[in-house]
Chain A
């Protein structure tokens, strides 16, 4: 099992008392599997994704990723996990504006020490970014920017891809195309995919679907 969550709980400080966001989540995801995380705003989808990505720590419960007990790691351990095992695609793209597209794509692979120029070039070509490698993110359309972010994630060959509404900032047609490419490529690399989405249509294209309601699996 690649990813295993047991009784994960998390609350955030509220005005009077802590507000529970996740109230005991259990989840298993195997290599090559894809899973959609759906739920209303505030149901805890993004929080769950952040916990899996090691961006935050749960209050209770245990999280294992690729045989490592993530909940026992310190800051630098979790940073290493983010570099090496996990790949993230954000709704806001979060590209580095001062690096060109080529350098942005290679960035995480370089961090992870897995940079392979030929593979990266092929990946960029697949994503239609070939002509844009020397451009800067601000010179790209939203769809191209997200494709760049996806390329950045996949070039580092992560075991688990976490996507947080990756098409949320794109128009419908572009969103569809970007999602297609992403699913195809993830499937090719054999990585597992955990994607937060609002769209039931997109959720339906995943292998499994987990619906959160008020911090619990519905």
Chain B
């Protein structure tokens, strides 16, 4: 019996290939978008994990020089001799590659090359060994050390013994000491042994992690929205298929098929379809991720300096999760339809209930539900707290908006019909309105797709604006140099002063502000600062007043944590209590920061001689000055061409946009597909409605043109509704979710041109979707239209 019934159930799809295609394609696209985004995220995260494992970033407490700069070997040995279990790390760039030197004998667990057949003697002695991925090793200049391919080293990084790294980087000291988690009894205080060094405690996530998490969270939200769009399509297709099969199901039950068996078989049927579609979807997602990953990798590298391998590894976890989400999505989409089948009385009035034809009562329900959900979303946005509330706001708001859409459109169309003059116009509006229920699911999908796109465009754009400003302010100097010691710092500054436009000394020292750890930085009065820095809040002419020692500048983190606003006093010592003149954004910095003018800094910390400098000069002069500095004895690795770095970072944003644009086009394509499928499904049902109009003298071409117009009109109305929904979405992502997740708010910017372009895409998608059904209509043989009058329907 099972075979007979299953055969009868499955035979439905043979006659409804289009429906099956809709179902599988919708589900596959939804799964594909979701798992593609997941794959990108998973790959990027895995890369950071490797990076963290290579360097112990964040996992271990670190000891660094309190004033920045190097730690002398003597300090390292002194700490070891005092019992401190620490291990030195030195790093620098060698061309495009980050070279990291470690001391394998003392390095805490899990750091270093993991090659099973590693030869420690070769690593430690002789010419040394360089461990890295093949690409990184290939990017190295010619060196005498042996190259060992090690896939578990972070991308773009080469790991070697500290002696080799110091030799290649021309360094004497080290950058940091990693502190092992287990320390012996009775060791002396750090301040006693090395007062110039400062201990930084291990963080839960590295600094890179904080920033990139934000990016990933937003990508995930986007993936989820794409999935929701797909699920709407699946819901439509499943609903239609089940509705069409109701009479058959009833017949089968009348012929003695038990209800339980029937429902179980339909669940099995759907699960099978979901698995097939899920497999296709995971494949699509893989392709999507593989094609976007190089861009994403570049984005993350540029944005945060986080290296992500450009290649994709096929991870069973997201493979399974892709299939799982396909099945789950199908269950979500088909749950209601299955429930209706399961509870369908055997002898209810047999006729076919028009698919999704919302009657007045269910429209009222839908309206109430939509209002309720939007209310919940607003309440959560206003009074909710935390990530869950943020995502709750997103979910409730979007579903509420989607449910409200048909009612809203219905009201608009009804108003238009009342205003319409002329029989044809009146028919057009009335007919459009009548068609609305059949199209409403597709339009909801379009709404969600548009809203997601507007939201993400706004988010990425806001990111870009914020970070461009941030980069401008932070990387304004054309060159950065770091000198080896105080003496060199003084000679180099004197050497540079007549040769460049300005020399901006940089130094920082750890202080406490209102009981919180913070770093104190200095700023030399220079036009660079007022020209480039932007403040979240500031008094009039903050830089002038700063130079006049009338106050300090603080970053957003310190402002939020210490509750400091403009004008509030910051205590920097017994005789230095100064008001806040400005608060600046300091994205990704976990620590509070205070800036004072150079003279005040020198007074507060006379022991610190700034050893780092930002140089303002004509960009054309950069190579000459660079060469001159090297001639003066500044190490080549200690000179950074930040302008080039900045240009690279800005290029990267363009690639971010490429990723976003690709995802935009894909989601709109999915929504367009939903419209196409709905129109095709409706086409057959619409013949009886169109035949009388045709009979009354409207040509088929004219009818087809009106059909196109109708689709575009509905898409346009939906786009209009999507705009505020998308902006609300962006606001929630930037101001609720981001703050809840990371503690800082990204300022939201608006991009009307981008929205207009998206709207155009949406109309284009709708027009393309309506094209085929319209052509079919235009070519419908008159006999088929005549048949409407003859048939016994």
- Interface 9-residue window, one of B11-19, B431-439, B459-467, B704-712: B11-19
Q: A214: CB under 8 A from chain B?
A: no
B1 lies within 8 A of A111 (CB): yes
B259 lies within 8 A of A94 (CB): no
B14 lies within 8 A of A111 (CB): no
A94 lies within 8 A of B8 (CB): no
Closest chain-B Cβ to A79's Cβ sits at a distance in Å of: 4
Which among A75, A108, A136 is the interface contact of B255 at CB below 8 angstroms?
Answer: A108
Give a binary string over A15-39; 1 marks a CB under 8 Å from any B CB, 0 the rest: 0000000000000000000000000
Q: For A185, what are the chain B residues with a Cβ–Cβ distance below 8 Å?
A: none
Closest chain-B Cβ to A166's Cβ sits at a distance in Å of: 14
A88 lies within 8 A of B347 (CB): no
Considering the chains assembled together, what is the distance between the CA atoms of A112 and B1 in angstroms?
A: 8
Q: B254: CB under 8 A from chain A?
A: yes
Q: Of B248, B254, B255, which is in contact with the most chain A CB atoms at under 10 Å from its CB?
A: B255
Which among B15, B258, B260, B346 is the interface contact of A98 at CB below 8 angstroms?
Answer: B15
Considering the chains assembled together, what is the distance between the CA atoms of A120 and B258 in angstroms?
A: 24
The chain A residue with its CB closest to the CB of B252 is A96
The chain A residue with its CB closest to the CB of B249 is A96
Closest chain-A Cβ to B550's Cβ sits at a distance in Å of: 84
Interface residues of A in 78-100 (CB under 8 A from B): 79-84, 86, 88, 90, 92, 94-99
Considering the chains assembled together, what is the distance between the CA atoms of A100 and B358 in angstroms?
A: 34
Q: A56: CB under 8 A from chain B?
A: yes
Q: B566: CB under 8 A from chain A?
A: no
Interface residues of A in 98-155 (CB under 8 A from B): 98-99, 103, 107-108, 110-113, 136, 152
Closest chain-B Cβ to A75's Cβ sits at a distance in Å of: 7
Closest chain-B Cβ to A137's Cβ sits at a distance in Å of: 11
Q: For B1, what are the chain A residues with a Cβ–Cβ distance below 8 Å?
A: 83, 110-111, 113
Which among A56, A95, A98 is the interface contact of B347 at CB below 8 angstroms?
Answer: A56
Q: B350: CB under 8 A from chain A?
A: yes
B247 lies within 8 A of A79 (CB): no
Q: For A76, what are the chain B residues with a Cβ–Cβ distance below 8 Å?
A: 258, 260
The chain B residue with its CB closest to the CB of A83 is B256
Considering the chains assembled together, what is the distance between the CA atoms of A199 and B261 in angstroms?
A: 38
Q: For B81, what are the chain A residues with a Cβ–Cβ distance below 8 Å?
A: none
B11 lies within 8 A of A99 (CB): yes
Q: A50: CB under 8 A from chain B?
A: yes
Q: For A108, what are the chain B residues with a Cβ–Cβ distance below 8 Å?
A: 255-256
Considering the chains assembled together, what is the distance between the CA atoms of A56 and B258 in angstroms?
A: 14
**A96-B11, A110-B4, A111-B1 known; A83 and B257 CB under 8 Å?**
yes
Interface residues of B in 316-369 (CB under 8 A from A): 346-347, 350
A79 lies within 8 A of B253 (CB): yes
**A75-B259, A107-B4 known; A94 and B14 CB under 8 Å?**
no
Q: A72: CB under 8 A from chain B?
A: no
Interface residues contributed by chain B, number (CB under 8 Å)? 27
A98 lies within 8 A of B8 (CB): yes
Closest chain-B Cβ to A129's Cβ sits at a distance in Å of: 18
Closest chain-B Cβ to A19's Cβ sits at a distance in Å of: 15
Q: For A183, what are the chain B residues with a Cβ–Cβ distance below 8 Å?
A: none
The chain A residue with its CB closest to the CB of B247 is A94
Range class of the A interface residue count: 20 to 34
Interface residues of B in 14-67 (CB under 8 A from A): 14-16
Q: For B4, what are the chain A residues with a Cβ–Cβ distance below 8 Å?
A: 107, 110-111
Q: A55: CB under 8 A from chain B?
A: yes
The chain B residue with its CB closest to the CB of A86 is B256
Q: B251: CB under 8 A from chain A?
A: yes
Considering the chains assembled together, what is the distance between the CA atoms of A99 and B11 in angstroms?
A: 6
Considering the chains assembled together, what is the distance between the CA atoms of A28 and B633 in angstroms?
A: 118
B256 lies within 8 A of A50 (CB): no
B248 lies within 8 A of A111 (CB): no
Q: For A53, what are the chain B residues with a Cβ–Cβ distance below 8 Å?
A: 254
Considering the chains assembled together, what is the distance between the CA atoms of A108 and B8 in angstroms?
A: 11
The chain A residue with its CB closest to the CB of B255 is A108
Closest chain-A Cβ to B544's Cβ sits at a distance in Å of: 82
Interface residues of B in 241-288 (CB under 8 A from A): 247-248, 250-260
B14 lies within 8 A of A98 (CB): yes
**A55-B347, A107-B8, A111-B1 known; A98 and B248 CB under 8 Å?**
yes
Give a binary string over B621-661; 1 marks a CB under 8 Å from any A CB, 0 the rest: 00000000000000000000000000000000000000000
Which among B3, B7, B251 is the interface contact of A94 at CB below 8 angstroms?
Answer: B251
Considering the chains assembled together, what is the distance between the CA atoms of A108 and B4 in angstroms?
A: 9
Considering the chains assembled together, what is the distance between the CA atoms of A90 and B14 in angstroms?
A: 26
A96 lies within 8 A of B248 (CB): yes
B256 lies within 8 A of A80 (CB): yes
The chain A residue with its CB closest to the CB of B253 is A79
* 17 examples of A-B residue contacts, CB within 8 angstroms: A56-B346, A56-B347, A75-B258, A79-B253, A84-B256, A96-B11, A98-B16, A98-B248, A99-B8, A99-B11, A107-B8, A108-B256, A111-B4, A111-B5, A111-B255, A111-B256, A111-B257
Query: 20 extra interchain contacts, Cβ-Cβ under 8 A, other than A103-B11, A108-B255?
Result: A55-B254, A55-B347, A79-B257, A79-B258, A80-B258, A82-B254, A82-B255, A84-B256, A88-B254, A94-B247, A94-B251, A96-B8, A96-B252, A97-B15, A98-B12, A98-B15, A103-B8, A111-B255, A112-B256, A152-B255
The 9 nearest A-B residue pairs measured at CB: A83-B256, A82-B256, A98-B11, A110-B4, A94-B251, A79-B258, A98-B12, A98-B15, A76-B258
